Structure 1
Amino acid sequence: MINVIGLGYIGLPTALMLAAHGWEVVGTDYNQEIVNTLNLGQTTFKEQGLDELFHAAVKAGIRFSEDYMKTDTYILSVATPYDKLSKKIDPQYLIKAMQSVMKVCTKGAIVIIESTVSPGTIDKQIRPIVEAGGFVPGEDIHLVHAPERIIPGNMLYELKHNARTIGADHLNVGEQVKAIYDSFCVGEIIVTDIKTAEMTKVVENTYRDINIAYANELVKICHVDNMDVYEIIRIANRHPRVNILKPGPGVGGHCISVDPWFLVGDYPGLANIILAARRINDSMPEFVLERIHDIMKENGMRDVSRVGLYGLTYKENVDDMRESPTLQMLDCMEKHLCGNLVKIYDPMVKEDVVANQYYDLDTFLGEIDFLVILVGHKEIIDNMHKLKGKVVLDTRNICDLEGTYRL
């Protein structure tokens, strides 16, 4: 039996996929509301194909509980935030989960950590927990790092098709874990050591963060001299060895906006390009606010309450708001005492999150004169004709209406 600990954006799809491919699985989460919802036959977030996978897993016998199981295989998929002052990883949830596992696991158990961690975290934070339980890591209890590589909006495809990295102390244990993932993953699965697996995952997301920062810095440079950054990037990317990513209003999600800080915090004075990239991307919400101010001034607009922000999630067509650039921007606006004046709408967000939040596109558009597109949901792409006559700032380069302002 496999006990999957943490039933969030990573743990739940992993547990369901394993169950649907023949493994006996119990999903565990400390959040009783999540467990109750799943036991009632409902998923806890929206993702293409997730409901169908859920029903297949339930039919195969998956169970959900608040309790940790006594078994020989565990997968830990809990959150690993970072301390915003020290910039170091905050492993508190991972530590608590591991301590709970040690209370019930048996000698010979394999504990697979999917949570993203900074290099050395398993050596510094997890091995001592095993030793404190009276076990010898690598002999009595086998620690493995198998970092997730999926993104909201395309989770199930990536869970099956993306390459995986398995970090283990011993090759034979790595091969055992590889066989688990091999049951559903058609991508290449590489077995290596634990610290290499830790570093590889962080490096992947840091590379993308730096690339986005380059695009965002180009936005600012091109804006000064009235150049079209999107055309410049499009042409530059025709070169066979150039692939500049898209600029935007900031970087969100629980990977690209978080993982680079692990390296900044753990290697101060060495991670200089990484730190610069983080600062550039974190500066984009303020840059968007400056653009809003300048556009309002250019158009003789003074009423902030007639400004509408479209999009609360961190990316298009998902309901995930973690580290959302829009929420970052609203925090900036709060400092200037105007955050509760603008109107906000996101078709993917059904619960109350912020002040002046709307739940119908037409009603929202009827209340504003100036629209700021912060997320490129399919809904707004399909309804561009409704934006005629409005001032539009498009931070995602999706609006083809004449006169649209861009970053």
Structure 2
Amino acid sequence: MKVCVVGLGYIGLPTALMMASHGVDVIGVDYSEKVVSELQSGQLTFEEDGLEETFQSALDAGIEFQKDYPKADLYVVAVPTPYDKDTKKIDAGYVVSAVNSVLDVCDPGAIVVIESTISPGTVDRYVRPAVEDRGFEIGRDVHLVHAPERIIPGNMINELVHNNRTIGADSDEIAEKVKKVYQSFCEGSIAITDIRTAEMTKVVENTFRDINIAYANELAKICRMAGMDVYEVIKIANCHPRVNILSPGPGVGGHCISVDPWFLVGDYPELAHIIRQARTINDSMPEFVLNRTYEIMKANGIEDVSRVGFYGLTYKENVDDVRESPTLQLLESMERHLCANANSVKVYDPYIADDVVSGQMHDLRDFFNSVDVVVVMVGHDEIKENEDLLKDKIVLDTRKCLSHTEAESL
């Protein structure tokens, strides 16, 4: 079976490489000429543990990259699914556009698998009508499937192999065909269900985590006001066999947890009360960290914001992904409060080589030497391995990742 993976970003590229390296005939497609050109030249477009080796294996197996959609038996759509920040509803435009491009070239009987995370009912509301408007009969001319991705930057290759998967399809026969392709590399269990259930399960998974994080973040605010150590409270509470509270942090970023719950809020505004509140709490954390930074500056007699440095730009440790980054959210908030002075703060991240914000530095020692206050926004291994450089600094550790440095906490 020839497979075309549409969208060669953080989800599509690892999926395409994994399939190809396990014997599947794969062509990767992306609208970006730059992405396609770099991949054709043997250059990866982002860093990820184990991705280089998988890339080389896929190249050896004959994977191809191109901008034009080819004829294939199965198309895996892994394009972005943003949401409208006003209505909180999914923007299915990229998915529908990709499906239309598939319909331009596919032969009768082709299978279109949507891996992109979508809100429950997206296939029924947007994809099916788009296919039918083109004169295609679903179930005969083209088959629709939803197999939501379940990987996260920093552990993609391992999760592609070991995570359980879900395949939602209109018929068990088509689902089994798709399952066989995913079984080429996936060692986890693969559940078969209908499309709407598959849509819901992925969104529910990420929403559950978002709510748990929000609970921890709200506890952090309560404990701060009450003068208690939230980490000690959570540690003891988690000794209970049925309690598992996550750790508080400076906010929630990334392509899933910070976005997917809004799909349910947008579609069910009169019902998704806890989900909305969790999102509101987590979105408030960068502002909370900013206020804590102001408190620390005032307590130590520091007025010059240029003496403050924020360590970490990515949304999680040891990756180069800045999507929905809490640090970027904090800096935007700072600009609203301080206007031009916000550009005076220092920012550093070992995984971000290009300048994405003002005041960004690219040498760890220079960064530490230029500031008096260090706000640790991301627990990269680098800072854990260089705690000695913080011994004379005032530190706010929002991730509770430093074990030897005396630091303020959330």
How would you bin the TM-score normalised by the shorter chain? over 0.9
**Hey, what's the Cα distance between the residues in 2 that align with 1:278 and 1:138?**
38
Q: Secondary structure at the match of 1:339?
A: helix
Q: What is the Cα deviation at residue 403 of structure 1?
A: 3.8
1:313 match: 314
The gaps in structure 1 that reach 5 residues or longer are none
2:175 match: 174
2:350 match: 347
What is the percent sequence identity of the aligned residues? 63
1:298 match: 299
Choose the corresponding residue for 2:402, options 376, 384, 399: 399
TM-score (norm 2): 0.98
Choose the corresponding residue for 1:362, options 362, 365, 369: 365
Cα gap change, 1:218 to 1:103, in 2 (>3 Å): same
What's the CA shift string for 1:202-229, capped at 9, x where partnerless? Answer: 0000000000000000000000111010
**Hey, what's the Cα distance between the residues in 1 that align with 2:401 and 2:254?**
21
Give the aligned residue type for 1:315.
Answer: K
**Hey, what's the Cα distance between the residues in 1 that align with 2:178 and 2:356?**
40
Please tell me whether the aligned partners of residues 49 and 155 of structure 2 are also in contact (alpha carbons under 8 angstroms). yes
Q: What is the Cα deviation at residue 111 of structure 1?
A: 0.3
Please tell me whether the aligned partners of residues 111 and 142 of structure 1 are also in contact (alpha carbons under 8 angstroms). yes
Q: What is the Cα deviation at residue 43 of structure 1?
A: 0.5
2:117 match: 116
List aligned pairs for 1:171-320, cutoff 5 A.
171-320=172-321
**Hey, what's the Cα distance between the residues in 1 that align with 2:404 and 2:27?**
51
TM-score (norm 1): 0.99
1:327 match: 328
2:386 match: 383
Q: What is the Cα deviation at residue 139 of structure 1?
A: 2.4
**Hey, what's the Cα distance between the residues in 1 that align with 2:32 and 2:405?**
49
**Hey, what's the Cα distance between the residues in 1 that align with 2:226 and 2:193?**
48
Q: Secondary structure at the match of 1:78?
A: coil
Q: Secondary structure at the match of 2:144?
A: strand
**Hey, what's the Cα distance between the residues in 2 that align with 1:339 and 1:189?**
49
**Hey, what's the Cα distance between the residues in 2 that align with 1:388 and 1:71?**
59
Please tell me whether the aligned partners of residues 305 and 342 of structure 2 are also in contact (alpha carbons under 8 angstroms). no
Give the aligned residue type for 2:233.
Answer: I
**Hey, what's the Cα distance between the residues in 2 that align with 1:3 and 1:61?**
13
What's the CA shift string for 1:122-149, capped at 9, x where partnerless? Answer: 0110111211221111222110000000
List aligned pairs for 1:94-109, cutoff 5 A.
94-109=95-110
Q: Secondary structure at the match of 2:388?
A: helix
CA RMSD, 1 decimal: 0.7
Please tell me whether the aligned partners of residues 373 and 396 of structure 1 are also in contact (alpha carbons under 8 angstroms). yes
Q: What is the Cα deviation at residue 82 of structure 1?
A: 0.5
Give the aligned residue type for 1:358.
Answer: M
Cα gap change, 1:384 to 1:402, in 2 (>3 Å): closer
Q: What is the Cα deviation at residue 389 of structure 1?
A: 1.1
Q: What is the Cα deviation at residue 339 of structure 1?
A: 2.2
What's the CA shift string for 1:255-313, capped at 9, x where partnerless? Answer: 00000000000001100000000000000000001100111111111010000000000
Is 2:374 the counterpart of 1:371?
yes
Q: What is the Cα deviation at residue 401 of structure 1?
A: 4.2
List aligned pairs for 1:1-150, cutoff 5 A.
1-150=2-151
| Stretch deviating more after TM superposition (135-144 or 35-44) | 135-144
Give the aligned residue type for 2:269.
Answer: P
Give the aligned residue type for 2:347.
Answer: I
What's the CA shift string for 1:30-81, capped at 9, x where partnerless? Answer: 0000000000101100000101100000000000000001122100000000
How many equivalent pairs are there? 407
Give the aligned residue type for 1:377.
Answer: H
Give the aligned residue type for 2:357.
Answer: V
**Hey, what's the Cα distance between the residues in 1 that align with 2:79 and 2:248?**
30
**Hey, what's the Cα distance between the residues in 2 that align with 1:193 and 1:154?**
28
What's the CA shift string for 1:312-367, capped at 9, x where partnerless? Answer: 00000000000000000011011121321110000000011001111010011110
Give the aligned residue type for 1:350.
Answer: A
The gaps in structure 2 that reach 5 residues or longer are none
What's the CA shift string for 1:79-130, capped at 9, x where partnerless? Answer: 0000001000011111111111110011100000000000000011011121
**Hey, what's the Cα distance between the residues in 2 that align with 1:304 and 1:334?**
12
Q: Secondary structure at the match of 2:191?
A: strand
**Hey, what's the Cα distance between the residues in 1 that align with 2:106 and 2:342?**
49
Q: What is the Cα deviation at residue 402 of structure 1?
A: 5.4
Q: Secondary structure at the match of 1:128?
A: helix
Q: Secondary structure at the match of 2:39?
A: helix
Q: Secondary structure at the match of 2:215?
A: helix
Please tell me whether the aligned partners of residues 388 and 401 of structure 1 are also in contact (alpha carbons under 8 angstroms). no
Q: Secondary structure at the match of 1:190?
A: strand
